Chain A
Amino acid sequence: MSSLESLAPGSEIDGFRVINRLHIGGTAHLFSVEVIKGPDPGFPLVMKVPRVGHDQPTESILGFETEAMILPALKGAHVPRFVAAGDLARVPYLTMEWLQGTGLAAIATTAPLPEARVLKLGASVADAVHALHQQNTIHHDLKPDNIIIREDETAVLLDFGFAHHAHFPDFLAEEKRFASGSAPYVSPEQLTGSRADPRSDIFALGVVLYELATGKLPFGVPDTLNAMKNRLWASPAPPRTRVPSIPPWLQEVILRCLEPDPAARYQSAAHVALDLRNPEQVLLTARANRTERAGFMTQFGLWWRSRGERHALNRNPQVLISESPVIMVAVDTSHPDDERHQALQWTARQMASLNLEFRLICVSAIRAASIGESGGVADTSSGLQLVHKVRLRNWIEPLRLPAHRVSLHVLESGDPAATLLEFAKSNNVDLIVLGAPAPNETSLAWWRSVASTVTANAHCSVHVVRVPSRSREDWNRPDNFAA
């Protein structure tokens, strides 16, 4: 087995030829390889070969086996594509997509980054974490070293050696010694043995955001387990004390991710992404304007409480996400008197009453302001935006939802269906709610195609709301076609 570690360029294993050694790591070596037998996958490949032997800690081989089990089960743009795995007892290796992009670690060396850059990168990483959680997987080792930013700015997560997949046995679950994550990024509950709480990744995401925004690590680089454990109760220096130009809302987002109690953090990475993309919607609490670490008595209280939190709850990622949905309601503010508005409001009210940790995105897709009308384009556009935003606010007000749960968006577009679909996808929406077309609505011809196009092409579920009092028989009565 150990001969694999010293593969020379040109060596052949299981239909792959080694091109170059890329990296000598503590637990594994990386080689660039090409396919010599079988179909070419059409993208560059990297082969990961674990270091094995008596001098290697057992966790590293358990980690390799964990990655070889979980990576083939993962899909999507936020993970490297799996190609092949060698038999662990014979030739242990893992061949996967070699990602072309910039390591977030390299970007982080230039931190503190400008606010806009932190938001963009942070939201991309949050999207990637959410995509992983949707696949019932917890990364457990989120840090810039394990994140690649593609040219189109999407983030890809690497290294699933500490990951946990709810559908597979967890080889690291019984490790008595601290076995999961990297010291600066590890969550408090991981330190007390939790292996099954997706909110651990939210904490690590908070550390990454803190690092990008301030250029510092919130808890430094502790070298002992005891030194790491101060995060069970200690609050980090507020980001704004490090970089005063950081806005209060960004400090709010970062410190909320870094709450020692998982229940006090964001419950879904999609909500972190949503807030990073919609700063004006962030609910500011005392965290936003904190100018110093928590006082002695507060920290003592947290320390005292942390003594009892030795056993974190296991939370299935998919269940947690289903309890923290992002719901998008498409409201037709161009026709404020449409009778479907009330039916839509009732549906939104029903969803709000489910007592979930939900976010409601209210969207109005309006026709783009045409050039050449009275006034400049910008004026026309912003005037229209304001009119429709006010209508949206009036629409949602009767529901009396807490402000931080709701965001309002007016999107100008020549193709409302495509705009709604794109907006839903980029905001990790779990459910789209919109009105059904009525057969006799000639004045709203586009609406019909919106409902059906969205339903047919959405990446998520679509709830089509019909006015309850109208049955198909009613529609078919001739008098309904009079107008």
Chain B
Amino acid sequence: MQIALLSDIHANVQALQSCLDDARTKGATRFVFLGDLVGYGADPGGVIDVIAQYVAEGAIAVRGNHDEAIYGSSIYMNDMAMSAINYAKRVLAPAQITFLQNLPMIVREDTCCFVHASAASPEKYSYVDSPTAAERCAGASELPHTFCGHVHEQRLYFAARGPRMTVFRPTPGVAVPVPAHRRWVALVGSVGQPRDHNPKAAYAIFDTEQVSITFCRVPYDHHAAAARIREVGLPESIAYRVESGI
């Protein structure tokens, strides 16, 4: 089975649709959304509606810090991010906010653990941005395959010997074997706001039969996504980031 792993969609419905189309073309039959459905982008409602439909059909979705910020007050955000949260609060319908409230923090299934930030205290939304952080995440996950988002870059951490982890920068489109006798922490990148100077949407596919992960990059109309951000009156800096992939 091919499981599509999509994270940090950030209300970018153009990028989400392109990634879903790409994943289905590549044979994905199961979908996991790793959080941050909203924030930054112009279409939080559109994104929630698409994902709610997938969840109704059996997909998994977990909660991200931007999702929690819609209804919780304890999440810290910078001004730019906060303006998008306030915008989303204004445009989202109560049912859409309830959908976000009902998202689980972490889901474990077979060999896989799905979480937005780190399996080590998921509610703290700490970044898996170092081998040490990946080691804590894999330790708390207690499963061979942990899939996260939150850092907006594609990385694969692995334990070569003992619990100590090593970072690997994956090449898009290459299936990397991830045998279950090792611990792996895959950061699948961001669908709606990539930050590696490449505006292409990022996601990953986990193949449960080959036991491999393929990191994917999908070109989409990022200018249209940026235009929507300007159109609804969100800060220019957000539009610029989506256009330039930063």
Q: Which residues of A contact B (CB under 8 A)?
A: 58, 62, 65, 69, 87-89, 166-175
Residues on the A chain within 8 Å of B166, using CB: 169-170, 173-174
Per-position 1/0 for B135-148, Cβ under 8 A of A: 00000000000000
Residue of B with least CB distance to A65: B179
Other 14 A-B pairs with CB < 8 A, given A89-B180, A171-B161: A62-B160, A87-B179, A88-B179, A167-B170, A168-B177, A169-B160, A169-B166, A169-B176, A171-B158, A171-B160, A172-B160, A174-B164, A174-B166, A175-B160
Q: Is B99 an interface residue (CB 8 A)?
A: no
Q: How far is the CA of A301 from the CA of B69 in the complex (A)?
A: 61
Question: Closest CB-CB distance, B94 to chain A, in whole Å?
Answer: 46
A169–B168 CB distance below 8 A: yes
Residues of B near A173 (CB, < 8 A) are 160, 166
A173 to B179 CA separation, bound complex (whole angstroms): 18
User: Residues of A contacting B171 with CB < 8 Å?
Assistant: 166-167
B156 pairs with A169, CB closer than 8 A: yes
Do B180 and A58 touch across chains, with their CB atoms under 8 A apart? no
Q: Is the CB of A169 within 8 A of B181?
A: no
Contact A69 B160 (CB under 8 A): no
1/0 per residue, CB under 8 A from A, across B148-171: the answer is: 000000001010110010101011
Tally of B interface residues using CB under 8 Å: 15
Offer 9 A-B interface pairs, CB within 8 angstroms, sorted by A: A62-B161, A65-B179, A69-B177, A88-B181, A167-B170, A168-B174, A169-B158, A171-B161, A172-B160
Which chain B residues border A58 with CB–CB below 8 Å? 161
Q: How far, in Å, is B219 (CB) from chain A's closest CB?
A: 21
Bound complex: CA of A88 vs CA of B170, how far in Å? 23
Give CA–CA (A169, B169) in the complex, Å. Answer: 8
Shortest Cβ distance from B15 into chain A, in angstroms? Answer: 25
Taking CB atoms, residues of chain A closer than 8 Å to B177 are 69, 168
Within residues 161 to 200 of chain B, which ones have a CB less than 8 A from any CB in chain A?
Answer: 161, 164, 166, 168, 170-171, 174, 176-177, 179-181
Q: Considering only CB atoms, which chain A residue lies closest to B178 in the complex?
A: A169
Nearest chain-B residue to A173 (Cβ)? B166
Complex-state Cα separation, A172 to B166, whole angstroms: 10
A58, A168, A172 — most chain B CB neighbours (10 Å)? A168
Residues of A within 8 A of B161 (CB): 58, 62, 171, 174-175
Question: Complex formed: what's the CA distance from A89 to B160 in Å?
Answer: 15
Give B211 Cβ to nearest chain A Cβ, in Å. Answer: 9
Task: Tell whether, in the assembled complex, residue B160 and residue A167 are in contact, meaning their CB atoms are under 8 Å apart.
Answer: no
CB-CB under 8 A from A62, the residues of chain B are: 160-161
Which of chain B's residues has its CB closest to A58's CB?
B161
Question: Which chain A residue has the least Cβ–Cβ distance from B173?
Answer: A167
Which residues of chain B are within 8 angstroms of A168 by Cβ–Cβ distance? 168, 174, 176-177
Instruction: Provide the residues of chain A in CB contact with B174, threshold 8 Å.
Output: 167-168
- Distance of A64 from chain B, by nearest CB (Å): 12
Name which residue of chain A comes closest to B176, CB basis: A168
Please name all residues of chain B whose beta carbon is closer than 8 Å to the beta carbon of A170 when the two chains form the complex. Answer: 166, 168
Min distance, Cβ A162 to any Cβ of chain B, angstroms: 14
B179 touching A89, Cβ below 8 Å: yes
Known A-B contacts A174-B164, A174-B166; A89 and B181 likewise in contact (beta carbons under 8 Å): yes
Least Cβ–Cβ distance between B111 and chain A, in angstroms:
12
Which chain A positions have C-beta within 8 A of B181? 88-89
Query: How far in angstroms is the closest Cβ of chain B from A474?
Result: 39
For the complex formed, measure the closest distance between the CB of B30 and the CB atoms of chain A, giving whole angstroms. 23
Could you tell me the distance in whole angstroms from the C-beta of A100 to the nearest C-beta in chain B? 30
Contacts of B160 in A (CB 8 A): 62, 169, 171-175
Q: Decide if B176 touches A167 in the complex (CB within 8 Å).
A: yes
In the assembled complex, the Cα of A58 lies from the Cα of B160 at a distance in Å of 10
Q: Which 5 A-B pairs have the closest CB atoms?
A: A171-B160, A169-B168, A167-B174, A89-B181, A167-B171
Alpha-carbon distance A288/B146, docked complex (angstroms): 56
Residues of A with C-beta under 8 A to B168: 168-170
What chain B residues lie within 8 Å of A167 (beta carbons)? 170-171, 174, 176
CA distance A174 to B164 in the complex (A): 9
Complex CA distance for A173 and B161, rounded to whole angstroms? 11
What A residues does B156 contact at CB under 8 A? 169
- Residues of B near A171 (CB, < 8 A) are 158, 160-161
